[in-house]
Amino acid sequence: MKKKCVYVLLICILTLSIGVYVSLDVYADPAFEINAKSAVLMEASTGQVLYEKNGHEKLPPASVTKVMTMLLIMEALEYNKIALDDIVTCSEYASSMGGSQIYLAAGEKMSVEDLLKAIAVASGNDASVAMAEHIYGSEEAFVKAMNDKAKALGMNNTHFVNCNGLDAEEHYTTAYDIALMSRELLKYTKIHDYLTIWMDTLRDGQFGLANTNKMIRFYEGATGIKTGSTSKALYCLSASAKRNDMQLIATIMAAPTSQDRFSYASKLLDNGFANYTVLAGIKEGATLGEIEVLKGMMSSARLQAESEFEMLVEKGKEKEVKKIVSISENILAPVEQGQKAGEIKFELGGKELGRVNIITSQSVKKITVGKVFSKMVQRWLNAR
């Protein structure tokens, strides 16, 4: 009887708190043509790809490379390796960078925050190298860290040669890999302060900055991220936007014109927002009833969800997902906190979509002989 009560409690909780996760085996097929070599649309929280055109084709990324540069800067800030108010001295090498730049002079000093702003807003090649040298001592060491991070993120078709995206042999990535590193960068809340700047200044107002990503001003909900263009790479873009708690990333590589990359990214984002939504699933640590404990100092242990689960949903299919809860009838003491006691499985059309473990939220020691005797005495006294 107790098991049935626990199971019913779990079903009630899950019905109220768990959304649905739809696994998309076929990419969205927008009724328009993306006239670029490569493109990807990804939902940020789940990593689900909604649209892909040659998403794994290796191509030069131009300054979209700086997504990884900014990611390593944010990591260095998080681990207190650097601080925003640190002062960086520009080297002669950094000052020699061509292309997009803020015209740093050798020996010029600038704060980490201003250099980060120069990278995010104005795509400064010189600022990128200055930061690389400041964090790792040399651009070469920084680039190694970029490639190590790319490997860790599963960017299997990426190889960086520099930190700013200037054309170079064997410097390449893919639309899918750009989406992966963009997704990782967006996890840092502070980076949004820089990615969403439209216009600003450096050097006490003497040097103006204007965001190279025009979508920041003209696309509803735009949150970043980075443009890039060279004669070899043509026009590239990683664009992100957030509406109604869903954040999408559209990556475009080798578009014919600058306007085309913004137009294609806008169409991809529009299609994603029109056809999909993200529902809040179960939260990490959500209470999920209790389970009977045999031979324990306590008769039961509380249960909770081991991890958070967010769900990308194709609009109109919210009610088609089955939620299957399975829990053990009981567990034997001793019980460790975090011990698996069951799981929640999600299915759609007979296909498994994902699982969340149900774990104990407390430990329960094995009952001692003294405790058994004490209980027997108490029962005997209560029976009198």
Q: What is the pLDDT of residues 171-207, one digit of tens each?
A: 999 999 999 999 999 999 999 999 999 999 999 999 9
Q: Is residue 218 part of a domain?
A: yes
283: pLDDT strictly greater than 70: yes
Bigger pLDDT: 21 vs 384: 384
95: pLDDT strictly greater than 90: yes
8 and 44, same structural domain?
Answer: no
Q: What is the mean pLDDT of residues 231-242?
A: 98
What's the pLDDT band for 150 if we cut at 50, 70, 90? very high
Q: What is the pLDDT of residues 301-310, one digit of tens each?
A: 999 989 887 7
327: pLDDT strictly greater than 50: yes
Which of the listed residues 254, 279, 304 is the one where a domain comes to its end? 279
75 and 221, same structural domain?
Answer: yes
236: pLDDT strictly greater than 90: yes
Q: What is the pLDDT of residues 239-264, one digit of tens each?
A: 999 998 899 999 999 999 999 999 99
Instruction: Kindly report the CATH number assigned to the domain that includes residue 302.
Output: 2.60.410.10
Q: Is residue 7 part of a domain?
A: yes
327 and 200, same structural domain?
Answer: no
Q: Is residue 33 part of a domain?
A: no
Q: What is the pLDDT of residues 358-370, one digit of tens each?
A: 999 999 999 876 5
357 burial level (CB within 10 Å; 0-12, 13-18, 19+): middle
Alpha carbon of 267 to those of 148, 240, 381: distances in Å? 33, 12, 77
351: pLDDT strictly greater than 50: yes
Q: Is residue 32 part of a domain?
A: no
Say what the pLDDT of residue 154 is. 98
Say what the pLDDT of residue 17 is. 39
156 and 184, same structural domain?
Answer: yes
Most confident of 8-12, 147-151, 315-319: 147-151
122 and 133, same structural domain?
Answer: yes
Instruction: Kindly report the CATH number assigned to the domain that includes residue 133.
Output: 3.40.710.10
Euclidean distance between CA atoms 22 and 183, whole angstroms: 20
pLDDT-above-70 percentage for the chain: 87
Euclidean distance between CA atoms 364 and 336, whole angstroms: 7
What's the pLDDT band for 226 if we cut at 50, 70, 90? very high
Say what the pLDDT of residue 7 is. 43
Directed axis angle between helix 112-122 and helix 125-136, to 10°? 140
Euclidean distance between CA atoms 42 and 247, whole angstroms: 9
Give the DSSP per-residue string, 341-384: EEEEEEEETTEEEEEEEEEESS-BPBPPHHHHHHHHHHHHHHH-
Say what the pLDDT of residue 379 is. 63
Query: Which residues are annotated as catalytic?
Result: 63, 66, 123
Q: Is residue 24 part of a domain?
A: no
Say what the pLDDT of residue 369 is. 63
Q: Is residue 309 part of a domain?
A: yes
323: pLDDT strictly greater than 90: no
What's the pLDDT band for 91 if we cut at 50, 70, 90? very high
Euclidean distance between CA atoms 221 and 239, whole angstroms: 11
138 and 168, same structural domain?
Answer: yes
Whole-prediction pTM value? 0.83
117 and 49, same structural domain?
Answer: yes
Give me the domain span that covers residue 367: 2-19+281-383
Q: What is the pLDDT of residues 154-168, one digit of tens each?
A: 999 999 999 999 999
Euclidean distance between CA atoms 223 and 184, whole angstroms: 14
31: pLDDT strictly greater than 70: no
Say what the pLDDT of residue 380 is. 59
What's the pLDDT band for 373 if we cut at 50, 70, 90? low
Domains: count for the chain: 2
- Geometric angle at alpha carbon 48, from 185 and 229, rounded to 5°: 50
Euclidean distance between CA atoms 160 and 37, whole angstroms: 20
Q: Is the distance from CB of 83 to CB of 131 less than 8 angstroms?
A: no
Q: Is residue 31 part of a domain?
A: no
324 and 230, same structural domain?
Answer: no
Q: What is the mean pLDDT of residues 311-317?
A: 81
Q: Which among 160, 163, 159 has a CA at the least distance from the CA of 127? A: 163
Q: Is residue 34 part of a domain?
A: no
What's the pLDDT band for 285 if we cut at 50, 70, 90? confident
7 and 122, same structural domain?
Answer: no
166 and 50, same structural domain?
Answer: yes
Which of the listed residues 256, 279, 302 is the one where a domain comes to its end? 279
274 and 295, same structural domain?
Answer: no
Bigger pLDDT: 323 vs 226: 226
21: pLDDT strictly greater than 60: no
Say what the pLDDT of residue 371 is. 56
Which of the listed residues 262, 279, 296 is the one where a domain comes to its end? 279
69 and 153, same structural domain?
Answer: yes
377: pLDDT strictly greater than 90: no
Window from 166-170, 297-301, 375-379 with minimum mean pLDDT: 375-379
